[in-house]
């Protein structure tokens, strides 16, 4: 265990998993985060000022959503994601919730290889832009991740498909 993790009071593997997930996809629904990482990890992170929650109404029900605080962002950037955190947007919560669902559906190894849009752009030296995320699958293939919304035009979708086919060995798509 790294000494620096104790400074932030983040000790458990599940606490680190929550922070890594939030740094990678921005937000997580409470019920899904609790199922994957445990209620205790969420409670500890909230008590230590690492995450906070807000309510979001969608699909006919109120959902409790978790996100990183400034302290949580500092820890996650420094120790888990190493650079750009995903910037969630309150105007695209359904998109970001679906991105979180895809992230949580991956194996632990695949989640650790996750790169968000900013990281993809940086590591590709701006050759790959506009893709939500990517990860290395357990079989070694680079997989692009895209959450499609109603706001995408046919032209935008064509451009995204072209980029994904040129640079990745597979695609994982979600619909918001």
Q: How far is CA 113 from CA 60, 71, 81, 107, in A?
A: 34, 23, 10, 10
**Coil, strand, or helix at residue 69?**
coil
- Asked whether 25 and 94 are in contact (CB, 8 A), the reply is no
For the stretch 49-98, pLDDT in tens is: 999 999 998 778 899 999 999 999 999 998 888 778 999 988 899 999 99
pLDDT attached to residue 6: 60
pTM for the structure as a whole: 0.90
Q: What is the pLDDT of residue 3?
A: 43
Between 90 and 135, name the one with better pLDDT. Answer: 135
**Phi, psi at residue 8, to the nearest 5°?**
-90, 0
Closest listed residue to residue 174, CA positions, set 137, 153, 149: 149
pLDDT tens by residue, 21-35: 999 999 999 999 999
All structural domains of the chain, each given as residue ranges with its CATH number in brackets, are 3-175 (1.10.10)
Average of per-residue pLDDT values in the chain: 91
Higher pLDDT, 138 or 84: 138
φ/ψ of residue 94, rounded to 5: -60, -40
pLDDT at 96: 95
Q: Which residue has the higher pLDDT, 106 or 125?
A: 106
**pLDDT score, position 4:** 47
What is the rounded CA–CA span in Å between residue 76 and residue 67? Answer: 12
First to last CA, the chain: 38
Taking the C-alpha atoms of 58, 64, 67 and 72 in order, what is their torsion angle to the nearest 10 degrees?
Answer: 180
């Amino acid at each position: 265990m790294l000494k620096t993790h104790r400074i932030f009071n983040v000790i458990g593997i599940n606490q680190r998993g929550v922070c890594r997930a939030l740094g990678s996809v921005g937000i997580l629904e409470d019920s899904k985060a609790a199922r994957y990482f445990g209620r205790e990890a969420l409670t500890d992170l909230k008590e230590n000022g690492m995450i906070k929650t807000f309510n979001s109404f969608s699909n006919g029900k109120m959902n409790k959503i978790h996100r990183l605080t400034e302290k949580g962002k500092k820890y996650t950037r420094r120790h888990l994601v190493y650079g750009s955190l995903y910037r969630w947007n309150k105007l695209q919560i359904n998109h970001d919730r679906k991105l979180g669902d895809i992230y949580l559906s991956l194996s632990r190894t695949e989640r650790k290889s996750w790169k968000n849009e900013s990281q993809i752009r940086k590591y590709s030296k701006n050759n790959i832009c506009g893709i939500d995320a990517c990860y290395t699958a357990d079989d070694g293939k680079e997989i692009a991740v895209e959450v499609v919304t109603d706001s995408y035009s046919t032209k935008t979708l064509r451009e995204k498909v072209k980029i994904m086919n040129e640079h990745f060995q597979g695609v994982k798509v979600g619909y918001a």
